[in-house]
């Protein structure tokens, strides 16, 4: 899908500049738009990629939560044991 119709640009500029210059400007606009579109594809993410990234983040968060929970329980039990064994 073209953002700008280069034929309309060509027709508009042809009346003001002439065929050669209008064609050159229309081609320059078209090539710059294609380059812009190609550059934007690097930043776009598909739905599958996005869902996989969210799933990976959820897994990492669960690992950290379980690890911190085990560490906290161990610390509390150690403190209770230290207080009771005095």
pLDDT tens string 38-60: 888 877 888 898 999 999 999 99
Residue recorded with tokens 């929970």: 69
List CB contacts of 6: < 8 A, sequence separation 6 or more.
26, 27, 29, 30
pTM: 0.48
Weakly modelled stretches of the chain, pLDDT under 70: 1-4
**Cβ-based neighbour number of residue 75 at 10 Å:** 10
Q: In whole angstroms, what is the distance from residue 77 CA to residue 70 CA?
A: 11
């Amino acid at each position: 899908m073209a953002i700008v119709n280069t034929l309309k640009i060509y027709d508009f500029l042809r009346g003001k500049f002439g065929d050669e210059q209008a064609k050159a400007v229309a081609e320059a606009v078209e090539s710059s738009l294609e380059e812009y579109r190609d550059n934007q594809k690097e930043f776009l993410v598909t739905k599958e990629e996005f869902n996989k990234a969210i799933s990976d983040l959820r897994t990492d968060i669960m690992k950290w939560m379980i690890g911190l929970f085990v560490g906290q329980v161990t610390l509390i039990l150690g403190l209770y044991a230290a207080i009771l064994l005095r």
